[in-house]
Amino acid sequence: MSAPLYARNFVRDIQTRGFKNLTEAEFIQLTTAVYSLLPQYYNNGKTCLNCSHRMPNGCKKCPDCFHRQVKKKPVVIEEKNENACDGACARDLTSERKIFLPCGHKFCVECMKERVDDNFITCCFCDSVRIPEDIRDELRDL
């Protein structure tokens, strides 16, 4: 009976089926002693992800089953604007000129010019996709 969860289940089993060799007083004393050694349930705090045992918020492992409690990272869902620049500015390109690369990413003229002026020849997201030569020449002349 090394784990508290095992001990708790063992005592519950004894309580449900009873034990013929023990007197009622010894039976109550045994269950009381074992339950007093087990970790207590808390009304507040968090619930174990493995065995649903209630425990204080500061516990890193469940005192009942010793399962490590791992915080779940919140899921962030970003709404993507279909007309937004994929570059650093991320502004709306509805009424502006868009530069489409072969990989499908679109950029405003300022973001793409900045990329070309820094002597990059590939898309900032897809290193295998090159910026077409005619676009690079046109942006260098601006």
Taking only the tens place, the pLDDT of each residue in 66-112 is 888 887 677 766 666 677 878 778 788 788 888 888 888 888 888 88
Distances in Å between the alpha carbon of 71 and those of 14, 51, 55? 36, 16, 15
CATH code assigned to 78-142:
3.30.40.10
Is pTM beyond 0.85? Reply is: no
Summarised one tens digit per residue, pLDDT across range 25-53 is 777 777 777 777 776 666 778 888 888 88
Q: Compute the average pLDDT of residues 114-120.
A: 87
> How do the domains of the chain map onto residue ranges?
4-55, 78-142
